[in-house]
Amino acid sequence: MSPDIDEARHPFLKGLSKHRGAPPTVVVIFGASGDLTARKLVPAIFNLGVDNLLPGEFHLIGFGRKPIADEDFRVMMDEAIAEHSRRPLNKEIWERVRQNMSYHSGGYDESAAFDSLAEKINQIEKDLGRDMQRMFYISTPPSVFEPIIENLGSSGMAQAHVHTKLASKVVIEKPFGRDLESARELNKVINGVFEEPQVYRIDHYLGKETVQDLLVQRFSNSIFEPLWNREYIDCVQITVAESLGVGSRGGYYDTSGALRDMIQNHTMQLVALTAMEPPVSLDPESIRDEKVKVIKAIQPLKLDVDGGDVVRARYTNGLVKGEPVKGYAEEQGIPEDSSTETYAAMRLAINNWRWQGVPFYIRSGKRMARRASEIAIQFKRPPGILFSEGDKFNVAANTMVISIQPDEGVTIVMNSKIPGLETRVRNL
């Protein structure tokens, strides 16, 4: 590995092993011509390669309805890395993945296409002379999640090497159903084909370093935990703001809106991690149990138009960096009668011992003034006996801001004396 790439590692990682011994793997991405594949999945695979975390034997197969030649797919993915990867494209590293990349076209409900995909993977195993783990990443709009899962079952791919370390895995994107009933129905289809340990219901916010750091910050630093409750906290504000519009994804987005696309999943994960009790251990079930407990304590929302807990809105046309951009209603693929929101904000009341009376304000939107995801913990003000005289004492509420992206870090707003003979106060 060239020194400049090693330099790109986080300083905390210096001296730690880079290899976790992943088994030989074939990843199949359904919906591989789409936005998520280009923006996140393939750049992430490239970066795993840079960090030497890919298995020695690694194959990537894109799957989709449009016919795409293997070489065209490789070029599309080169461009995706050049545009979206956090590290520049390193041709030497990428070539090792690239040479084992191909595209398989077929309908998501077409069983023959899945049979031929199974044959292709069997042939890769035969050529290698050993079994491989198969990982199926469903990166399509939710309307085709179910036929893909059913076809993975009927083609036998879901059961490959089951009950061994190489058992097939399936990764399912969100939204996971439209409501409780459809989510249960989707679960039923999944459980009819895969065993639970094979299933990954993904929320990519949980993979962000700063989100993973939340539990560490809360439960490994004794200075915060005693203050993390209704005695000291005035309110919590969670913002997930994007500057992008819906772009080419109007067809999918209009069936979701901000509530299903961002609030019920990513934003609620941030609420859960901020508000949950300490888990009894770090195993996934213990963390899940605490998240479930705190989410159950959230009170039903008041939906009245005036004085309710929820606001929905959508962006109109305007300027971004001086360039005109379309309003949501004019974006490609948005039906004329659409009433889908691109912004949602709500006030949550968590009725448990720790949080009663502390509002959680959460909001998410597209085409906002700037891209920023953050959790702001606003503490109660001290009694205003000493420093409460207008301008002279510009006292702010202490606030801890955990910035998730784009600038990662923690900022604490505190009050301090302005140097000089007179006692003047300002926040910094």
Ligand X SMILES: O=C1O[C@H](COP(=O)(O)O)[C@@H](O)[C@H](O)[C@H]1O
Binding-site residue numbers for substrate are: 204, 208, 242, 261, 366
424 binds, among ligand NDP, ligand X, none (CB under 5 to 8 A by kind): none
Residue nearest to ligand X (CB): 261
**Element (H or E) spanning 82, and its range?**
helix 70-84
Which H helix or E strand runs over 106? none
3-state helix, strand, coil in the chain (%, to 5): 35, 20, 40
- Which secondary structure element, helix H or strand E, spans residue 200, and what is its range? strand 199-201
Q: Is the dihedral of CA 350, 353, 356, 361 positive or negative?
A: negative
Task: Supply the minimum distance, in Å, between the C-beta of residue 151 and ligand X.
Answer: 24
Residue list for the binding site = 65, 174, 204, 208, 242, 261, 366
Annotate each residue in 96-125 with x if it binds ligand NDP (CB under 6 A) or - if it does not, as one string: ------------x-----------------
Which parts of 233-262 interact with ligand NDP (CB under 6 A)?
A: 249, 251-252
CB of 176 to ligand NDP, least distance (A): 9
The residue annotated as part of the active site, out of 59, 84, 104, 266, is 266
Q: Of 75, 162, 152, 97, which is closest to residue 121 (Cα–Cα)?
A: 152
Q: Is 4 exposed, middle or buried (0-12, 13-18, 19+ CB in 10 A)?
A: exposed
**Quick one: which of 406, 424, 407 has its CA closest to 415?**
424
Query: Would you list the DSSP string of 268-321?
Result: HHHHHHHHPPPPSSSSHHHHHHHHHHHHHTBPPPP--TTT-SEEEE---SEEET
Structure tokens at 37: 């594949």
Binding mask 298-337 for ligand NDP (x = CB under 6 A): ----------------------------------------
Calpha distance 186→184 (Å, rounded): 5
Position 366 contacts ligand NDP (CB under 6 A) = no
From the list 64-72, 287-295, 338-346, 375-383, the region that binds ligand NDP by CB under 6 A is 64-72
Indicate which of ligand X, ligand NDP, none lies near residue 65 (CB less than 5 to 8 Å, by partner kind): ligand NDP
Instruction: Note if 104 is an active site residue.
Output: no
In whole angstroms, the minimum distance from the beta carbon of 112 to ligand NDP comes to: 16
Alpha-carbon distance 142 to 261, whole Å?
A: 11
**Given 2, 100, 123, 143, the residue binding ligand NDP (CB under 6 A):** 143
CB of 249 vs ligand NDP, minimal distance in Å: 5
Considering the rule CB under 6 A, would residue 340 count as an interface residue with ligand NDP? Answer: no
Cβ 354 to ligand X, closest distance in Å? 28
In DSSP notation, 139-180 reads -S-GGGHHHHHHHHHHTT-TTTTTTSTT--EEEE-S---SSH
Please identify which residue in the block is written with the tokens 């490789």.
Answer: 74
Nearer to ligand NDP, 43 or 142 (CB): 142
**Binding region for NADP(+):** 65, 174
- Which residue among 85, 133, 140, 210 contacts ligand NDP (CB under 6 A)? 140
In the complex, the residues that contact ligand NDP under the rule CB under 6 A are 31, 33-36, 39, 64-66, 108, 139-144, 173-174, 204, 249, 251-252
Active-site residues, by number, are 266
